[in-house]
Amino acid sequence: MDKLIITGGMPLAGEVAVSGAKNAALPILCASLLTAEPLQLTNLPHLNDISTMLRLLAQMGVEVTLDGPAGLVLDAKGLNNPLAPYDLVKTMRASILVLGPLVARCGEARVSLPGGCAIGARPVDQHIKGLQAMGAEVTVEAGYVHAKAKRLKGARICTDMVTVTGTENLMMAAVLADGETIIENAAREPEVVDLANCLVAMGAHISGAGTDVIRIRGVERLSGAAHRIMPDRIETGTYLCAAAATGGEVRLTQTSAAYLDAVVDKLMDAGCDIVTERDAIRLKAPQRLKAVSLRTAPYPAFPTDMQAQFMAINAVADGVATIRETIFENRFMHANELMRLGADIQIEGSNAIVRGVDRLEGATVMATDLRASASLVIAGLVAQGETTIDRIYHLDRGYERIEEKLAKLGARVRRAH
């Protein structure tokens, strides 16, 4: 199993390009199921989750053709197997995103209950309730969600909780439904907006994406389209945190601060100097960061996917910070690993109290989930001596060529088998 070996203590400096967003690409790949015409996508990241989703679509009958270094054409005219089997779904929770499009286009879907990161309960009941409201018959048997509907009907759906994949699934189901669907308490994430933009390019009628009420007027059929995947805001935030923690100065290209207000604000509170350009961000770190407290909440508030990275920078900041996690109940698993490097962290329920220390020392640590892995990389870049991060397959699910990009910024990092 691969591991990363980092020799810390070097400030990051230079310029690196940010990849396309995994969390936008996955639902947009599933949108290809909604049409018999080709969907051309560019700026796709090379990640394990993307490869898994492409294998899943291919076994349903979708033809996948490479189109340049970060592009694909997906053609689902031969869609003939509306099944998402356990062996493909077990590693990736986003597989549930095929459910809505399959029911909408094929009238039926059988999708295994998903896996993914071990960061707490992420139930799919909101997806099921929404499809039932649109007239689908849904049963859960032998670990599979089985949904059937001759044609879905427009409905008013109010989710019990804000759910990104739930909003995306129901939006895709609704674009081919008969009549108007209104999704209330919808997720407002930029990735939801990116999916909506792609669907609109395919001929869907959608308004309100990016607000908590999305209206969709169903159409008979969708056509093909060309769409560029948005930049990955979490990758962007992670590299900004790595530069901040190491006292570095970097410029990130092919990205935008527009999706990252809460993160940029906190980095500026920590003492960083940040300049935003139209499609780039510059960060210059102070000699020592100031501790910043934060509370995670759905977009546009501070993202839960950046919580672990800020725990790492607070570990070496001046002062004491309180981090409150409100989204996932066991998303502090990285704290124990950071403590192995010398961090001073106390967990009290959904709060973590982080007291900044003068230095971290290299050690062997283990990644427990995707963003926890990123926090350990940041800590390893700061720590004196050598840090080995085991089980980095989590990292490869969300960060494209992370060791190459960090090396380009001057980090001493290598992958070992």
Q: What is the pLDDT along the chain (417 residues), one digit of tens a residue?
A: 899 999 999 999 999 999 999 999 999 999 999 999 999 999 999 998 899 999 999 999 999 999 988 899 999 999 999 999 998 888 788 899 999 999 999 999 999 987 554 444 556 889 999 999 999 999 988 889 999 999 999 999 999 999 999 999 999 999 999 999 999 999 999 999 999 999 999 999 999 999 999 999 999 999 999 999 999 999 999 999 999 999 999 999 999 999 999 999 999 999 999 999 999 999 999 999 999 999 999 999 999 999 999 999 999 999 999 999 998 777 899 999 999 999 999 999 999 999 999 999 999 999 988 888 999 999 999 999 999 999 998 898 889 999 999 999 999 999 998
pLDDT for res 323: 98
158 is catalytic: no
Tell whether 22 is in a known binding site. yes
* 59, 76 Cβ separation under 8 angstroms: no
**Residue 402 is assigned to a ligand binding site:** no
For residue 20, the 8-state DSSP code is B
Q: Which tokens sit at 288?
A: 């020592």
Which tokens hold the place of 65? Answer: 């053709």
The catalytic position among 30, 106, 117, 198 is: 117
**Pair type for strands 351-355 and 344-348:** antiparallel
Which residues does residue 275 pair with via DSSP β-bridges, in sequence order?
282
Say which amino acid occupies 227: H
On whether the CB atoms of residues 202 and 34 are closer than 8 A, the answer is yes
Q: Is 305 annotated as a binding residue?
A: yes
123 is in an annotated binding site: yes
Rg (CA), the chain: 21
The answer to whether 125 is annotated as binding is yes
Distance CA 337, CA 334 (A): 5
Report the alpha-carbon distance of residue 353 to residue 337 in Å, rounded: 15
| Closest to 174 (Cα-Cα) out of 187, 157, 162 | 157
Entry pTM: 0.94
**Beta carbons of 54 and 33 less than 8 angstroms apart:** no
Determine the pLDDT at residue 122: 52
Tokens of 155: 């409905």
Cβ atoms < 10 Å from Cβ of 197: 19
Residue 46, Cβ neighbours under 10 Å: how many?
A: 13
Separation between Cα atoms, residue 339 and residue 246, nearest integer Å:
18
- CB-based contacts of 390, cutoff 8 Å, min separation 6: 1, 3, 364, 365, 366, 367
Whole-angstrom distance, CA of residue 22 vs CA of residue 238: 14
